[in-house]
Structure 1
Amino acid sequence: MPAIKHTELKTLKDFYALMAATRQVRYQAVGSLLAGETVPAGTIESLANALSALENIPEVAGKRVLSLDGDRTIDLDMDYEINEARKDIFYLEEGEETFLDFLDDLHPGFDDHVAAGRELLNGLDLNCMITDRDGTINNYCARYLTSIQSIYNSVFLSRFAMEKVQKPVILTSAPLGGLIEISVNPEGEIYYAASKGRECLDLEGRTRRLPISPEKQVAIDTLNARLSEMLASPEYEKFSLIGSGLQFKFGQSTVARQDIGKSIAEDESKAFLETLSSLVTELDPDEQNFRIEDTGLDVEIILTIETSGDGLKDFDKGDGVKYLNSELGLDMFHGPHLICGDTGSDVPMLEAALEIMPETRAIYVTENEDLAKRVMGLTPNALIVPEPDMLVTIMGTL
């Protein structure tokens, strides 16, 4: 019997429950494939049932419409959930070689980019791989908690991590709990670092955290209480339901003001950014505790840290790399390393790694020319590709 039966999705709650169910199906399938075994019976049927449920949600102007609370509806971009289910079914039914041909047809320049990546990494036994998740090794999703990792993605990434890397790390700005709930990689093979590296799940399943002073903890607890109150109100509730929603991380809080499907009118999104900025100014008028980083989609409110001689700064992923190197014993003075990202906030990871060990390679996923120039200017051992599928295929075919 399939784990996921044919069902009809009517509410947002139904949708989240279905995607959580696909996580377990995919996790079991990945474990079987990496062990060289046949996937559990009913896997393809389960995914097909999930896909059918998603495709049968009523659609208006390219968005799927679900009930929010019986009285209100919400319009959702479900391209990621639908497309990754289709790709997983194709991968399981047709096999890896045919699936790679499919990706080549799907993404212009696919084979050339993959060949360039293989050449960059060929023959290397990497000490560390440190990579961002969303937009880097995982295709973008309009919501965080339904961006369940696909089977093919996990097989490619995990195979590389287990065979070519001594210490593989996924380093994201997301909270640690949410990161585990959407990943389907085998347990105990990859370090999961979250909140830009302030917290981490090690290979033994222990959670490690960079200490926060009591004063800073009170400040962020106060902020989080106000954010919860704000987003519970009808005026702002929609921002908790799009993109990253409202996420309380370790030393940082994130609020979505937009998603990749542009669900929010631009003037409303900008007005909400100003509202959040005003709240931070009210709580921290002397700018001792918080810095705001606006990605255009998310507003990151980050606790400051002391720096030697430079005063206060926000905690970035470069600080995360340095903390993880010390806390986890990554031994980054021994290379080579691979650093992967897709936005400007991922560049400090590369800068920190190069500072410790110049023998560092970089593959960044972007079509932003300014970001590409910034990365290529840091090291000649860098490659730019336009799609996460290209990066995981580079990894999976080595």
Structure 2
Amino acid sequence: MFDVIVVGARCAGASLAMLLARGGHRVAVVDRASFPSDTMSTHFLWQRAAFRLRDWGLLDRLHARGCAPIEQITFDVGPVQMSGIGLGVEGQTAVYCPRRTVLDTVLVEAAVEAGAELIDGVVVDDVVWADGRASGVRGRRRGAGGSLSLRAPLVVGADGLHSTVARRVAARVYNHHPPLTCVYYSYWSGLGDVRASFHARTGQLILVWPTNDGLTCIYVGWPRREFARVRTDLDRSFHAALDLVPGLRDTVASGHREQRFVGTADLPNQYRTSVGPGWALLGDAGHHKDPSTGMGIADAFLSADLLAEAIHSARAGRPVDDALGDYPRQRDQLTANGFELALNTARLAPLSNGLTAFYRAAATQPEVVERIFGVLGGSVPIRDVYSAPRIASVLAQANA
């Protein structure tokens, strides 16, 4: 018998399991995979995510596994380019782009060290109920390992966008927007000292990020309606996109692609009801958005922190349903800014004359550049940079 069962041991579930185990809870964390293993994902750890890893004592472990800090990013919207980094969060200014083979393993190891029991290689098929409340899960070991049943008064689904737990508890979807982009990415070696960059074009988004062990991750996004065309000749579509960034195709040609392309068009933007009697949802299971802004991991860490605090308060004597009720309200409030930004970015719309003028003016004002990067990273609200009064102020300063 456990206090909490966490279904899914990726960055959301493993973080929660670690935080709960550190707080003295008996935790089982269950995943169909074994670690290290990869999963399709954004890679970005913006400052607020890197700060949480630092606060949890894990950022040095990321360094030790070959993930170097990124201290400057180029933001390129075609007619205007600017370089900088966003406002720091509690002194954390560098960002990171770890592969999930590395990040998830660091988190799983930390959860196990804290006392959580990792049960890997298990597919969860159903939620067990007792007196109208979730009270455990049933599953099966991959291969010929047989069935498995676990019991706990709280079941947390951290099992991704297509969460089995969410389906079994009939969690309601709200604030839903259909997929706006389709994406593919892969990894290249031998590209030399490639800098992190974000290239926005009409109908295209190209991201270039150094990751572990000298590899560079390159990501391309297209409008969702182009998915059939793109995947018909993926290599050609991908390299045609690189041509939109001067010199990038030649840089990529100088290296070697180390892995097949990974991609999807299954990128809905939505929230799910994330608490109920004896259950909660975490990470992409409870909130998912387009990966164009790379905020998914930061929001997974945020949600793990919020849910852990709620569970701790229930253990301290607060009624469990009351304590858990705070969690989705806080999550929705704190992720609303990033949700709006992801929708705006994923539309891949042409840059207006007004925004072009704003970016030209902003590029000459370092403090504004810093805040623009803060918006990209989710540490600065959109309205603090892109409201009409703020834009007018930046333009006036440039004209002065």
TM over 0.5: no
TM bin (shorter chain): under 0.3
* Structure (1/2) with the larger helix percentage: 1
Structure with more relative contact order (C-alpha pairs < 8 Å, separation 6 or more): 2
TM-score, reference length from structure 2: 0.23
